[in-house]
Structure 1
Amino acid sequence: MRDIDELRELRDYDAGAPPLDDRTRQRARARLFAAMTAPDRPAPAPRSRRPVLRIVLTGAVAAAVAAGVLVAVQEGDGKGLSATPPDTSSPALRNVSVRTVLNGAAAYERKHEQAVSPRGDQFIYTKEIIKETEQKTGATKSYVDENWRSVDDSQRSWVMEIGHGWWAPPVGKNESIWPPQDWGTLKKLPTDPEKLILSLLHKTGPDDRNDSLAEISDQEWWEIHFGLTGLLKLVPVMPEGLRPAAYEALGMVPGVKAVPNQKDAKGRTGVAITYDDPTVPDGGAGFGGYFIFDPETYRFLGFRDERTSGDGAKKKTYTQLSYLDSWAVVDKAKQQP
């Protein structure tokens, strides 16, 4: 009875913190329940990532949930983390929810997206601008990457990455990649956000579950986040309705958060969406970097990520900012629009 009395006392304790929103409270209870009912669940493989904020699940977590308080601790060296600033009159500095940003981005995209129906024998041309800064020296370089992707993937494509280009052969028979590059496969993806999420779960047998979002585990949410961010980052041009659905679906992933006061490649200040991975062990962060949006219209501005080269004493880490400059449908690879 002593433990119960202590929990009741803690529940009644006023820590001066604002109450959790329903979504956060639901996530905390779900993880607590999973921790209690699945003690033998295997730990995920370690992934080297940047530092994150991890919710501490201690013996008193039940009381913390009951009291509406969760304690967050900083892991790693703290580099790359942005403290939440106080509310100001500037939209770029104002606290805003993930759903507000990503639903706003989806609405903006639906209003402004250009419908396109390329032929299978054509190519999708994209021009991307990349700005990289070496973190130790501050040296900055800019790159222009031009890509020509075969629409039906029957022809080789020209692809570039930070200034280096090569010919990519079509995907072989009975082979598949994620995210898909051919237009036919992209058109088959659902444009309903919940259906899109469920379509990203890998099914292997008749006993597979996940007929609803409530049945998705933390590890599966990580896979879904990986799939959605890969789709959004690596497929600049999509069939109508798919990108808005991907934005809305990303907003449903537990661990996705909004971070204000983030600069894009053009120096504009926006609000970013990034990911705190609930399955990662000590020290690490979610895949996907930062998606930066205009703080008023929620128009997508560009990405921020990190890249490393070399190892040991020669290892270098770069902050990478990028955005899509233009795109077009053309008839041949290397043809300028």
Structure 2
Amino acid sequence: MNELDELRALHAQTPPPDAETRHRARVRLFAAMNEPAASVRPVRRRPLLRVAVAGAVAAAVAGTVVVAVGDGDDGAARARSHAPSMRNVSARAVLNGAAAYEREHERTVAPRDDQYIYTKEIIKETEKRTGQVKRHVDENWRSVDGSRRSWVMEIGKGWWSEPLKENESSWPPQDWGTLEKLPTDPEKLILSLLHKSGPNDANDSLDQITDQEWSDVHFSLAGLLKLVPVMPKGLRPAAYEALGMVPGVKAVPGQKDAKGRTGVAITYDDPTLPEGQSGYGAYFIFAPGTYEFLGFRDARSSGDGDKMKTYDQLSYLESWGITDKVKQRP
């Protein structure tokens, strides 16, 4: 039974579905329409030099994964009674579904330059050797235009971040003005991240991107999505779709987030890294069925030699808002 048959059965045998159920059906249909054929492989140019880029994510390559449809309301339960409980989902279908979900639910923000963007992030860390679990609460206040000191926290420790000096830049950008200039078209966003003349160059083409450039693009997209929790309208969906275009992204089923929910994760196999070496180990975890973003899975280490400790890290954005002052809560 295909997706259209399931929709017809749902319409014929159940009361009209609510908004959430309709959204899930649209996402599943969208995913099926965008599922790449098994015989299709992305064209990848091999660079002459294979230089490892710090900050890239490494994992094994996989085509599709089987994802269980999550629990929901009564309407969703009725829909599941006429549909299989498992779905073959590609990484690109997950990220396109996440983009669709984000466009439907994103909140429009128009902060003033003299204001601050407040975020509250919850981080759960498990020390691998002992199993000890610690919970951190990171609260950040970032200057909207970047001209004022910001308060930044990382795993429970905070400090003042001074504004960038003249001719200084950083990635990902934190000031709203720079973020607003990034394209909200996924292909143009990819091209704008390359060290070229920009997305309007007639010679720019995704077909000409080398492995090293794809690695750089992935690093930029992963940093943008992980480190900038609040973006101008349309930018996050475009970043999700752009991430789905990167050769080497893969879907990993059965990944749990910080709240214990099971989802499907997106990670990256970087061909520029030596075999067995991993870099920026971020997993983006999404709810099966709706593709709502749930949070990140990462890893970190501290100390040296015998005193080195490694941690599994799960995190999610609990809340955010706009404030007029640093350390003022919305």
The verdict on a shared fold, with TM-score over 0.5 as the criterion, is yes
Q: Is 1:311 paired with 2:304?
A: yes
Cα displacement (A) at 1:203: 2.7
Deviations 1:164-196 (A, max 9, x none): 000000011111100000000000000000000
Q: Return closer, same or farther for 1:210/1:275 CA change in 2, 3 Å cut-off.
A: farther
Partner of 1:212: 205
Q: Which of these residues, 33, 42, 63, is aligned with residue 49 of structure 2?
A: 42
Cα displacement (A) at 1:43: 2.5
Partner of 1:245: 238
Contact 1:147 1:159 in 2 (8 A): yes
Q: Return closer, same or farther for 1:169/1:213 CA change in 2, 3 Å cut-off.
A: same
Contact 1:94 1:260 in 2 (8 A): no
Q: Return closer, same or farther for 1:172/1:100 CA change in 2, 3 Å cut-off.
A: same
Partner of 1:26: 41
Partner of 1:332: 325
* Long gaps (5+) in structure 1: 1-19, 56-69, 71-83
Q: Return closer, same or farther for 1:140/1:331 CA change in 2, 3 Å cut-off.
A: same
Q: Name which structure has the greater RCO, CA cutoff 8 Å, separation 6+.
A: 2
- Quote the Cα distance in structure 2 between the aligned partners of 1:209 and 1:23: 31
Task: Compute the TM-score of the two structures, normalised by the length of structure 2.
Answer: 0.78
Q: Return closer, same or farther for 1:274/1:93 CA change in 2, 3 Å cut-off.
A: farther
- Quote the Cα distance in structure 2 between the aligned partners of 1:161 and 1:110: 29
1:56-205 matched pairs, under 5 angstroms: 87=66, 90=69, 94-203=87-196
- Quote the Cα distance in structure 2 between the aligned partners of 1:288 and 1:305: 5
Q: Extract structure 1 runs of 4+ deviating beyond 2 A.
A: 20-27, 45-55, 87-95, 285-288
- Please provide the CA RMSD for this pair: 2.7
Cα displacement (A) at 1:149: 0.2
Partner of 1:226: 219
AA aligned to 1:187 is E
Cα displacement (A) at 1:289: 1.1
Contact 1:160 1:166 in 2 (8 A): yes
Secondary structure at 1:243 match in 2 = helix
Cα displacement (A) at 1:45: 3.5
Cα displacement (A) at 1:49: 8.1
Q: Return closer, same or farther for 1:49/1:182 CA change in 2, 3 Å cut-off.
A: closer
Partner of 1:259: 252
Cα displacement (A) at 1:144: 0.4
Q: Return closer, same or farther for 1:283/1:146 CA change in 2, 3 Å cut-off.
A: same
AA aligned to 2:239 is A
Contact 1:52 1:284 in 2 (8 A): no
Secondary structure at 1:279 match in 2 = coil
Cα displacement (A) at 1:98: 1.0
- Quote the Cα distance in structure 2 between the aligned partners of 1:115 and 1:281: 42
Contact 1:88 1:94 in 2 (8 A): yes
Contact 2:295 2:317 in 1 (8 A): yes
Aligned length: 280
Q: Return closer, same or farther for 1:293/1:210 CA change in 2, 3 Å cut-off.
A: farther
Q: Which of these residues, 276, 282, 288, is aligned with residue 269 of structure 2?
A: 276
- Quote the Cα distance in structure 2 between the aligned partners of 1:306 and 1:148: 24
- Quote the Cα distance in structure 1 between the aligned partners of 2:194 and 2:55: 23
Rg (Cα) greater in structure: 1
